[in-house]
A and B are shown apart, each in its own frame.
Chain A
Amino acid sequence: MNASNFPLWRACIDSGGTYTSACLLSEDGEIYSVKVPTLPGSPSASAEEALTSLIEKTGLAPGSLCYIIYCTTLALNPVLQGLATKTAILTTRGFGDILLAGIQQTLILPGPTLQRLPFRRRLIFEIEERMLPGGGTFTPLAENELRGLVPRLRDEGIESVAICFLHSYVNPIHEQKARDILAEAMPGLPVTISSEVLPFPGESFRAAATALSAMVRPQLESCIVATYDRIKNWPGKSPGFMVSQSDGSTADVLSSCLVAAGAILSGPAGGVASASLLSAKTGRPNLITLEIGGSSTNISIIQRDKPSLYSGNKAPVSSQAGLPSLNIHSLGAGGGSIAALDANGSIRVGPLSAGSHPGPACCGGSLPTCTDANVLLGRINPDAIITGGPPASAGAALNSIKASLAGPLGISAEEAARRIIASLNSNIIQALRAIIDKNGLDPREYTLVSYGGAGPQHAAEIARECGIHYVLVPREPGFYSAQGALSTVRRSYEAVTFINLEEADPDRIFESYAELEKTALDDFAAQGINASRIIIERTADLRFMDQLLELNMQFPAGRLKKADLSLLGRAFVISFSSAYGFTPDDTGTEIVRLRLTAALDTPNRPSCPGKLTINGLKPALYRKAVFGDDTLDTPVYSRNELYPSASLRGPLIIEQEGTSTLVWPGMSASVDARGNIIISVEVL
């Protein structure tokens, strides 16, 4: 049997705080999806359950799953909710305050977002050691002092350790030795070292990246490694297993754990990747993505078909650390966010989420959440909520809201529910407005792409408040991130060079690329993926020698000659001038970095789901739903009864499994050729 004839089914698992989604992509582009509630103590069990049920549903033969992409928000959520691991930070003697006396950063978002790294000064320990700027040793590592620290680490219940020594980016030997010592004395304790996380000068930044990485590593490891182990134990040939990173690329299990912060945004990155493909297909080059899940909301901007990559030091959560990441802003607000009274007697929502265990009150939890409010307001059909057990109960939602909020405030349950939704929306609107303002965007030029289980319920109202005129709801909003992770599978490789373009040797460059390509093909082969399916792209980062402004230029394949390199140099000058409006004089050009991307070609999804039928546009039923101050008899449609170019006037609700789309009075909704719902918000 020829390996390349073997059917190439791929899967993605998206482990969220509330739900775990699994998607299967067939050779011809069909996608099958399933969602199960996440078991907090064992996300890997939920992952296995989701994937298994999906395989059964589609009848996929064992051993014909080629690879699995794994993404998760399980590292992001605890950070957003302020529940971080107990992390100790080791640093050079004399520099215990590099995190507090060092970098100054102002984070740009108001509201319930991470404002600073949640570490404690008392858990920073100075160790006798010192490297010099050139990499020489000034003071050797005091190994016994480090060993003497171990009982203290045990007493404090330390769950993770970050090590950042001065100048380790030049000479990592002390950090490596310290890690070995701790590994021996406290086996199983994750130790993250700065020379592996961000090997560049600038100790505060590097320490922050390392501390963040260490903080999220235990959660990340427990779900990635645990899931990987379960799947490895399946009978037959193990599928490849790759972990999605914050910048949309993939990495193997080991590297994901060593630089855990690199995967903090792995879940949301998939959605953004999907959306950037969407922009090209729908003729809407400027998008704002709004993903509202059970526990977190993620916002990002796509301009002229390109998502923005983080750069510089004004940044959202994981990219605060300087690791490659898409520019995604996260906040702790979602469908499962718990509503409670604050000190002033106002209703506040989040950042804590009820997840799926205990879950919203309607699903058996004790505290009221946004989902409960939406059920009470008639916007969500309790039968459509995925519980993995008995169906959700509207009565339980009502009782919980009455007991916790309406009663103490002396208002009706409906009013309390309204305020809960208003509070959630306000958190998100505040963040979105700040992002629009910060980036100098004109909201009228953007379409709000809304996904995640809760996105389509809130998007129209949020768009209206922010001056955005159109909302786009993709076919399966609840699976958008997972499907996105499947659609772009790529790995990035780089070789830092700093060669003067004039003096560069084309043969040496060719060899460097060849090495990178071999590594790429080997890595994919280890995942069971054949070289014939891989598309290689070569680029290089060039800059003028006195500056830091880099441009990424295409690099031709094959053996080059000197003349080709000077052609590249001239192309760089032209691109630079067109991008920045100037060219510096009398300075050479240098190649900073050679980059190689290895991407798996993925089939395109069929443009129109075959299940759409042309039906008379009759709503499935009518239901009383609350819009603002009015309770209206609202038509409820089933999504798979709508066909392209169908056009409806609000108010209305469009339901599908796992989510529902709300269209307000005064708005209209239609369906485009790809099955996306487009809501025209008609901003006043």
Chain B
Amino acid sequence: MGPTTTEIVGSALRAAAEKAEEIMAAASPFSKTQYISRSYAIFTREGKMTAHGSGSRFLAGLLPLFVESVLELNPLHTISPGDFIVTNDPYTCGSSLPVILGVSPVYFSKRPLALVASACSYSDLGGSAPGGMPAQARDIFQEGLRFSPVRVFKRGIPNEGLFAVLSHNSRSGSNLSKGIKAQFWAVQTAEKILSGLAGKYGFEKLMRCMEEIIENSRRSIADRLQTLPERNLISSVSAGEEPGSGSPLIIKAAVKKCGDLLTVDFTGTSPQASGPVNSSLGTTLSSVYAAVGGALPEIPLNDGLFRSIKVNAPGDSLVNPSFPAPVSSPPVDAIQDAVCRCLAQIFTGATPTGSGGKAHFTVGGFNSAKDSFFCYSTHITGGEGAVFSRDGGSPAYLSHSASPQTSVERLEAACPVLVSKVRLVKDSGGAGEFRGGPAVVWSFTVLDSNTVVSAGTGAAAPPEGQKGGLQGSPPLITISSPGNGESFNTTGIYTGSPGINGIVTLRTAGGGGFGPPLERNPDRVRNDLLEGLVSPEAAGGIYGVVLAGTDLEVDVEATARLRGKG
């Protein structure tokens, strides 16, 4: 009773996408200093995603809209083997400008077999601040160079003129072009595996398997949805404030389960913002897919999933802005949270909400000694929301977050900064029967007056708890410039030069708790205390647990009394 041929093909396609991801990273000049966020996926020749690798799920979620857009303008018969079509345009299918999407066809015996699509995050595509996420941006031009779908490789020959244009508009210079070339070359690896499969099973059979994989997913979801009651839920989540005016931004999501379909309607969401906190349509869709994927973790990300979800994102809104709105700091976590809260009431079981989101920072500038720009970007994952039967995980073990944390050593080797701490924050996980995951704090000193730092907190507001659990701790960015004695906090986005000896402190949000804190198993509270995640005051005051003696053992009776049960 081994796997069926379809299952074998499915895992081979996944392995092909993964291998391409590995090769791309190894062939890219950026890998020498930092981790590269990327994702590859195999599509049928009609443009339906069958399998993706183990790279960033967010980037993978951009690919369906991308491939659809490309095929509309360039039908398959106009794309030749060895062509590589790339774009980063947020108003058609892209995310933010440093994310470059690319697609290339795979042929077998002169017939088109499949498409290999990829998304990769580069460190700089120009714009008014290194990293392309300037908080002051009020139009797309300030965020960098934008290009609609264009062939950078034609039948395997690079368009060096075009590559020169790209290189000239990036602080990474020729490394950008080398990186994009690596993104193309990695396709060869996937192609080899795909050709091998076609040779072994036959062209027609392979195509049928790919369709079957998609159909199986679609059927699994349909079956699952059919068993659930018809629901219509609405949630509103804060997406921070409009930079400048300070007016509140809201994501409103109406999630409806109707038969075997889910619809997500963002009508009622704030209109597009003048600041860079808009989410392009591609980003919005990817966030929705991630939220649904979280509720149905056993379903792979492929066309079967996408076809089960209908998304309505009104034009000119925060979730589907039009030109020339800036898009470099989208409220991804707020969108996911809004959708997840609705899903949590539709699907029983573990749907994580109250996630601390992903904070990020970029350090960039010019190194006169090396006569080149440096630009180092990284994400820091916040505390995970707790779910029924499980505490929110520590950032190091979060499986949904595919981008590894950055390395202090690599950051310091690349940029003139000195990191003073990277620590979990005590009492930051929302209290509950199951505690939210702890927040992380990074603090570093800038050693050069011209270094520019961009940062964002991810979650805009403290993540809420569920079913009586308390909220996680709020996120915070603190910039202090000892030179002029200034210091300020923000929970949104920041770009600036802190100056020599300026200190940047970035604290992610803690995850929301699940269930009433007074229900938490006292032994777990004790363990949290001993592990330094919870303070003695919180142990008694919030969890109602009394610990006594030199070993701080649980005093069962006193605890019951304190909790009002004795």
Residues of A that sit less than 8 Å from B by CB: 94-106, 115-116, 120-122, 132-133, 138, 166-167, 169, 201-204, 312-314, 433, 436-444, 464-468, 546-549, 580-582, 584-585, 587, 683-684
B181 within 8 A of A: yes
B369 to chain A, nearest CB (A): 12
Which B residues, 395 to 427, have Cβ-Cβ distances below 8 Å to chain A? Answer: 395-399, 401-405, 407-410, 412-413, 418-424
Q: Does B556 contact A (CB under 8 A)?
A: no
Instruction: Tell whether B14 is near chain A: CB-to-CB under 8 Å.
Output: yes
- Those 5 A-B pairs whose CB atoms lie nearest each other, nearest first: A467-B2, A440-B15, A581-B188, A94-B421, A582-B185
Contact partner, A101, options B1, B175, B423, Cβ 8 Å: B423
Contacts of A314 in B (CB 8 A): 54
Q: What string of 1s and 0s marks CB contacts (under 8 Å) between B1-36 and chain A?
A: 111000110011111100000110111110110000
B151 lies within 8 A of chain A by Cβ: no
A104 touches B381 (CB 8 A): yes
Q: Of residues 526 to 553 in B, which have CB atoms within 8 Å of A's CB atoms?
A: 530-533
Candidate in A94, A138, A587 with the most chain B CB atoms within 10 angstroms: A94
Residues of chain A lying within 8 A (CB to CB) of residue B424: 97, 100-101
In the complex, which residues of chain B have a beta carbon less than 8 angstroms from the beta carbon of A313?
404
The answer to whether B394 has its CB under 8 Å from any CB of chain A is yes
Asked if B440 is at the interface (CB within 8 A of a chain A CB), the reply is yes
Let me know if A464 and B188 touch, CB within 8 A: no
Contact flag A103-B413 (CB < 8 Å), given A440-B11, A546-B178: no
Q: How far is the CA of A105 from the CA of B35 in the complex (A)?
A: 14
Residue of B nearest to A429 (CB): B1
Evaluate contact between A443 and B2: CB separation under 8 angstroms: yes
22 contacts between A and B (CB under 8 A): A97-B423, A98-B408, A100-B394, A101-B424, A104-B401, A104-B405, A105-B396, A133-B409, A133-B413, A203-B407, A203-B408, A314-B54, A438-B15, A439-B11, A440-B13, A442-B12, A546-B175, A547-B29, A549-B27, A580-B27, A580-B188, A582-B27
Q: B219 near A: Cβ within 8 Å? A: no
Interface centre among B7, B26, B402 (most CB of A within 10 A): B26
Instruction: Report whether A100 and B185 are in contact in the complex, using a CB–CB cutoff of 8 Å.
Output: no
Q: Is B224 an interface residue (CB 8 A)?
A: no
Pick from B178, B200, B423, B531: contact of A584, CB below 8 A.
Answer: B178
**Chain B residues with Cβ under 8 A from A166's Cβ?**
408-409
Expressed in whole angstroms, the Cα–Cα distance for A466 and B2 within the complex equals 4
Question: What is the CA–CA distance of A582 and B187 in the complex, to the nearest angstrom?
Answer: 10
Chain A contacts for B200, CB-based, 8 A:
442
A313–B8 Cα distance when bound, in Å, is 24
Residues of A within 8 A of B13 (CB): 440
Bound Cα distance from A167 to B193, whole angstroms:
40
CA distance in complex: A584, B177 (Å): 11
Measured CB to CB, the nearest residue on chain B to A583 is B185
User: Which residue of the partner chain A has the closest CB to B405?
Assistant: A102
Output the least CB separation between A495 and chain B (Å). 20
Question: Given A204-B405, A438-B11, A580-B188, are A98 and B32 also a contact pair (CB < 8 Å)?
Answer: no
Q: What would 7 more interface pairs be, CB under 8 Å, given A120-B531, A443-B3?
A: A104-B395, A121-B531, A138-B418, A166-B409, A203-B408, A548-B31, A580-B188
B155 to chain A, nearest CB (A): 14
- Neighbouring B residues of A587 by C-beta, 8 Å: 178
Q: How many A-B residue pairs have CB under 8 A?
A: 162
Given contacts A105-B397, A202-B410, whether A122 and B530 have CB atoms under 8 Å apart is yes
Q: Does B191 contact A (CB under 8 A)?
A: yes
List residues of chain A with CB within 8 A of the CB of B26. 547-549
Query: B467 at interface (Cβ–Cβ under 8 A)?
Result: no
Pair B23/A549 contact, Cβ less than 8 Å: yes
Contacts A138-B418, A467-B1, A548-B31 given; indicate if A103 touches B405 (C-beta within 8 A): yes
Report whether B3 and A437 are in contact in the complex, using a CB–CB cutoff of 8 Å: yes
Q: Per a CB cutoff under 8 Å, which of B14, B29, B381, B530 touches A440?
A: B14
Does B192 make an interface contact (CB < 8 A)?
yes
Q: Are A201 and B178 within 8 A (Cβ)?
A: no
CA distance A317 to B92 in the complex (A): 44
Residue of A nearest to B380 (CB): A101
Partner of A121, one of B27, B182, B189, B532: B532
Give which listed residue, B3, B23, B192, B395, contacts A100 with CB less than 8 A. B395
A547–B424 CA distance with the chains assembled, in angstroms? 34
In whole angstroms, what is the CA distance A653 to B272 when docked? 74
Q: Given A202-B409, A203-B408, A683-B2, do A101 and B394 touch, yes or no (CB 8 Å)?
A: yes
The residues of A that contact B423 with a CB separation of less than 8 Å are 94-97, 101
How distant is the Cα of A167 from the Cα of B409 in the complex, in angstroms? 6
* Cα distance, A572 to B507, chains bound together (Å): 47
Give Cα A468 to B16, complex, Å. Answer: 22
State the Cβ distance, B404 to closest chain A Cβ, in Å.
5
On whether the beta carbons of A106 and B399 are closer than 8 Å, the reply is: yes
Q: Which residues of chain A come closer than 8 Å to B192, judged between CB atoms? A: 581
Inter-chain contact A101/B405, CB cutoff 8 Å = yes
Report yes or no: B396 in contact with A95, Cβ–Cβ below 8 A.
no
Q: How far is the CB of A42 from chain B (nearest CB, A)?
A: 33
State the main secondary structure of chain A at its contact with B: loop
Q: Are B1 and A584 in contact (CB under 8 A)?
A: no
Given A438-B15, A546-B29, A464 and B1 touching (CB < 8 A)?
Answer: yes
| Bound-state Cα–Cα, A643 to B30, Å | 59
From A102, A132, A439, A465, name the one whose CB has the most chain B CB atoms within 10 angstroms. Answer: A102
A211 to chain B, nearest CB (A): 12
- Which one, A103, A121, A439, contacts B404 given CB within 8 A? A103
Nearest-CB distance from B422 to chain A (Å)?
5
Residues of B within 8 A of A467 (CB): 1-3
Instruction: Please tell me if the beta carbons of B397 and A116 are within 8 angstroms of each other in the complex.
Output: yes
Shortest beta-carbon distance from A116 to chain B in Å: 6
A442 neighbours in B (Cβ, 8 Å): 8, 12, 200
Smallest CB separation, B176 vs chain A (Å): 12
CA distance in complex: A115, B394 (Å): 13
Is there an interface contact between B185 and A581, defined as CB atoms closer than 8 Å?
A: yes
Kindly state the separation between the CA atoms of A102 and B423 in the bound complex, as whole angstroms: 9
- A290 to B: closest C-beta gap in Å: 15
The contact of A104 among B12, B32, B175, B397, by CB within 8 Å, is: B397
User: Which residue on chain A has the smallest CB distance to residue B410?
Assistant: A201
Q: Point out the residues of chain B lying under 8 angstroms from A433, CB to CB.
A: 3
Closest to B12 in A: A440
A104 to B398, CA, bound (A): 7
Taking the closest CB of chain A, its distance from the CB of B498, in whole angstroms, is 19
* Contact yes or no, B422 A121, CB < 8 A: no
Instruction: Decide if B28 touches A547 in the complex (CB within 8 Å).
Output: yes
| Chain B residues whose CB sits within 8 angstroms of the CB of A438 once the complex forms | 11, 15
Docked Cα-Cα span, A132 to B7, in Å, equals 51
CB-based contact A98/B191 at 8 Å:
no
Inter-chain CA distance A65–B8, complex, in Å, is 50
Who on chain A is nearest to B25 by CB? A548
- Nearest chain B CB to A583's CB is how many angstroms away? 9
In the bound complex, how far is the Cα of B396 from the Cα of A101, in angstroms?
5
Task: Indicate if the CB atoms of A581 and B532 lie closer than 8 Å.
Answer: no
Distance between Cα atoms of A203 and B405 in the complex (Å) = 11
Please determine whether B3 and A201 come into contact, CB atoms closer than 8 angstroms: no
CA distance A101 to B381 in the complex (A): 9
A201, B413: Cβ atoms closer than 8 Å:
yes
Among the interface residues A132, A204, A468, which one has the most CB atoms of the partner chain B within 10 A?
A: A204
Q: Mark B364-384, 1 if CB is under 8 A from A, else 0.
A: 000000000000000001000
Query: Residues of A contacting B3 with CB < 8 Å?
Result: 433, 436-437, 443, 467
Chain B, Cβ-Cβ closest to A587: B178
- A584 near B12 (CB under 8 angstroms)? no
A121 to B401, CA, bound (A): 22
**Is the pair A94, B420 in contact by a Cβ cutoff of 8 Å?**
yes
Given the complex, which residues of B lie within 8 Å of A443, measured CB to CB? 2-3, 8
Q: For A96, what are the chain B residues with a Cβ–Cβ distance below 8 Å? A: 423
What chain B residues lie within 8 Å of A468 (beta carbons)?
2
Q: Which residues of B contact A133 (CB under 8 A)?
A: 409, 412-413
Measured between beta carbons, the chain B residues less than 8 angstroms from A585 are: 158
B 34-62 contacts with A by CB, 8 A: 54
Q: Which of B413-464 contact A (CB under 8 A)?
A: 413, 418-424, 440
